[in-house]
Amino acid sequence: MKIGIIGTGWVTELHLKALKEIEGAEVAAIAGRNEARAKKLAESWQANTYQTGLDMFQKESLDAAFILLPPHLHGDLEKACAEHVKGVLIEKPISQRLETARQINGYFNEAGTIVSVAYQNRYRQSVQRARELLSEDGNQGILARGWWTTQMPPPPWWRNFDQSGGQFSEQCTHLLDICRYTMGEVEEISAYATDGFMPEVENKTVDDAMVVNARFKSGALASFATGCFPLGGHPESPGGGIGLSLSSRKHRIALTGWGYEGTIHSGEEEREHVQSEENIFITQNKAFLNAVASGDRSGILSGYEDGLKTLAATLAANESARNQNGAPVKVTV
């Protein structure tokens, strides 16, 4: 399986580490504007390096591509992937603009491209267990609470709202995606955002904090609190500043930390613990590569249209907070 990697950021290292553990995976080429960084990442694979993904596709014969880029750089690359490879794995969020994502979806549908969107937490045992429990008759999810309050990531593009879409769209997309995966589709969202608390951060146009309320088509509700500032955190989250609580009539499921370690409460004393995986990227990437090899997409837990639905919900929150003064916004794909 000859693979081309597009992007040289920190998440690329996580994917490369996982691919080393997957039999038959060969990284043949790495493309990135940071030429020195691309060459360093390519060393252990003896892979060719290119400045752009388009250059890579013109000179390499690849089976699959990984697009590991910031949200604002999507569009032309996906079109090229649809023309040159059988399968594409794309890091979330798939864009910062809904119209761009819709166009990309058209490229993939026309070409029949096998696509996996990297919502790796869907593959975790804790999330799978939550989905199983909340799918039981009479035990659907009723209420969710999520929080992601951590220090601001350092990349300049992340601090630019027009490039990243802000924290709820770029990071908290994981929380909302888990809610969609376990509780069903989001119908309506309202949100408030605030800034001005961190004037020392130069060239920052993302919000300092945001609160979001969501209503699902089932009638279930969710609330999220997000923030980028030192010592954010949440007192109920032993995993630090990231957590999600899913509640039904019979269970409360607590997912904590970046690894979404699970604790399932089924009564006053009864608890079930679900350990976090050491490297969930192995599970996710193996499922994708197996789909490319076999043509069977059933092992992919988030295709492009699924990623499009999560994107639409997060962008609805931005619309409510920035343009509608907190008024509810219908989620449309």
Give the relative orientation of helices 173-183 and 125-134 as an angle to the nearest 10 degrees: 40
Fold of the domain built from segment(s) 2-120+280-302: Rossmann fold (3.40.50)
Burial of residue 309, with CB atoms counted within 10 A of its CB: 0-12 exposed, 13-18 middle, 19 or more buried: middle
Name the strand (E) or helix (H) holding 246.
Answer: strand 242-247
Give pLDDT, residue 82: 97
pLDDT tens-digit series, residues 72-130: 999 999 999 999 999 999 999 999 999 999 999 999 999 999 999 999 999 999 999 99
Residues of the chain with pLDDT under 50: 235, 237-239
Closest by CA to 329, choosing from 212, 159, 242, is 212
Longest CA pairwise span in the chain (Å) = 62
What is the reported pLDDT for 242? 92
Q: Structure pTM?
A: 0.96
Distance CA 284, CA 120 (A): 6
- For 310, other C-beta atoms within 10 Å of its C-beta total 27
Rounded CA-CA distance 39/14 in Å is 16
**Where in the chain is CATH 3.30.360.10?**
121-275+312-330
Q: How far apart are CA 39 and CA 30, in angstroms?
A: 8
For domain 121-275+312-330, give its CATH number from 3.40.718.10, 2.50.20.10, 3.30.360.10, 3.40.50.10540: 3.30.360.10
* Chain region(s) in the chain for CATH 3.40.50.720: 2-120+280-302
pLDDT at 240: 60
Residue type, 67: I
